[in-house]
Amino acid sequence: MSAFKKVTKKLVGELMIDSGVITRAQLNQALERKKETGKLLGESLVELGFASEQDVVGVVAAQYRIPYLPLKNHDVDKELLKTLPRELVFRHRCFPVDRIGSVTTVAMENPLDDRAVGEIQKAVGGRVLCFVSTPSEILSAIEQHYGAVEAHALRAAASAPQPPPETRQAPASAGADEGAFLGEEPDVEEGIKVFQIEEDALPEE
């Protein structure tokens, strides 16, 4: 089970309203776009220009007390890159940042995916300290240090229209796509690859 604990029961959309990032009207519009496109709430908010990736990730990070790590202009030890196989980095959208002793710092799009964290720990042979970064930051780091071709494929996949929610197939890992953001049961209201937030953000009337 992930070490991160949810510190509020409020949904991400409500937290973004509370913090002044978006208005309720903007949230309603983003939810409508989510239904139309099959994309997730965080993606919809950014595409509509209502919030930045940093806004979305920042609220989620605060909600679960996950430290945010900006990757722009971050120095990378090339030897450290060898500790995480290329395939693993692409699959879990993660990036190794630093290593001190047996502890490896890794930036992830979804640090709450227990299966991914376990695979990373096995690969590096030690403890993993997880931070969250935005999808763009991680993809840019992958492109720069692991290869442009694969990173371009990830960007294309991330921007491709998704099937409507009612026809979307269930993911192989609930933690990865439907968001066991913490706790023993997946929180289906907040399916997270951190940035990819799937929720009914409005309270029932």
- What is the percent of the chain where pLDDT is above 90? 47
Ranges 123-137, 161-175, 185-199, most confident: 123-137
Query: Which DSSP helix (H) or strand (E) runs through 100?
Result: strand 94-100
pLDDT band at 5 (very low <50, low <70, confident <90, very high): low
Q: Is the whole-model pTM more than 0.85?
A: no
**pLDDT tens digit string along 97-126?**
999 999 999 999 989 899 999 999 999 999
Long-range contacts, stretch 1-5, CB < 8 angstroms, 24+ apart: 1/114, 1/182, 1/183, 1/184, 2/111, 2/112, 2/114, 2/117, 2/175, 2/180, 2/182, 4/64, 4/65, 4/66, 4/111, 4/112, 4/182, 5/64, 5/65, 5/182
Tokens for 126, please give them: 């030690």
Overall residue count recorded for the chain in this entry: 205
Give the pLDDT confidence score for residue 33 in this predicted structure: 95
Residue 156 scores a pLDDT above 90: no
Average pLDDT, the chain: 76
**pLDDT tens digit string along 68-96?**
999 987 788 888 999 998 889 999 999 99
Q: Which residue, 63, 48, 52, is CA-closest to 18? A: 63
Give the pLDDT confidence score for residue 170 in this predicted structure: 35
Residue 172 scores a pLDDT above 90: no
Residue 164 scores a pLDDT above 90: no
Burial of 28 (0-12, 13-18, 19+ CB in 10 A): middle
- For the chain, domains (ranges, CATH) are 12-66+164-198 (no CATH), 78-156 (3.30.300.160)
How far is the C-alpha of 76 from the C-alpha of 54, rounded, in Å?
22
